[in-house]
């Protein structure tokens, strides 16, 4: 598996984002994640976007983080917000999400971020299991979906 840094608007990132949006629609019955994201959100040193490629060169997993500071939506100074963690169906269960998560945490820590935060939902029990088994704990809700009942927010301190 080859994990590469790409821009959020890279064609492979756009393709995988379309797939994750379709899965959100399938699970939640809405139009997908309405959180506003810009390619510049993921530009180092204020963020990072990664894609994992298999041995055939297919884009099979994605994830990114973006800097967040106190903003009136529940974030705290020093937050790194995890976004668009996704593994295509046929590659699930192989540890790709855990590898991606570790790479993103390492990069956010190196960039001086204090805490990794994420928002997921009740219809994504696999995601909740990944995050809680990786040391994430429930935290005060933040972001676009903070007032939605199905929203679940988690945080992990990024120790130096």
Q: What is the pLDDT of residues 110-149, one digit of tens each?
A: 999 999 999 999 999 999 999 999 999 999 999 888 988 8
Q: Is residue 159 part of a domain?
A: no
Q: What is the pLDDT of residues 51-106, one digit of tens each?
A: 999 999 999 999 999 999 999 888 999 999 999 999 999 999 999 999 999 999 99
Residues 6+ apart with CB under 8 A from 93: none
Q: Is residue 153 part of a domain?
A: no
Residue 18 sits in a domain whose CATH number is 3.40.630.30
Q: Is residue 134 part of a domain?
A: no
Owning domain of residue 87: 2-113
Q: Is residue 119 part of a domain?
A: no
Q: How many domains does the chain have?
A: 1
Q: Is residue 154 part of a domain?
A: no
Q: Is residue 98 part of a domain?
A: yes
Distance CA 53, CA 41 (A): 22
Q: Is residue 121 part of a domain?
A: no
Q: Is residue 48 part of a domain?
A: yes
């Amino acid at each position: 598996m080859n994990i590469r840094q790409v821009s959020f608007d890279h064609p492979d990132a756009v393709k995988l984002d379309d797939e994750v949006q379709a899965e959100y629609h399938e699970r939640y019955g809405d139009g997908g994640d309405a959180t506003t994201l810009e390619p510049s959100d993921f530009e180092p040193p204020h963020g990072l976007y990664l894609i994992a490629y298999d041995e055939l060169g297919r884009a099979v997993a994605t994830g990114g983080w973006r800097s967040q500071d106190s903003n009136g939506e529940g974030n705290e100074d020093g937050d790194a917000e995890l976004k668009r963690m996704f593994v295509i169906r046929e590659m699930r269960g192989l540890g790709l999400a855990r590898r991606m998560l570790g790479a993103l945490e390492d990069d956010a820590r190196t960039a001086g971020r204090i805490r990794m935060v994420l928002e997921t939902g009740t219809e994504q029990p696999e995601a909740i299991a990944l995050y809680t088994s990786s040391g994430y704990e429930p935290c005060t809700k933040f972001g676009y979906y903070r007032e939605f009942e199905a929203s679940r927010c988690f945080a992990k301190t990024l120790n130096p």
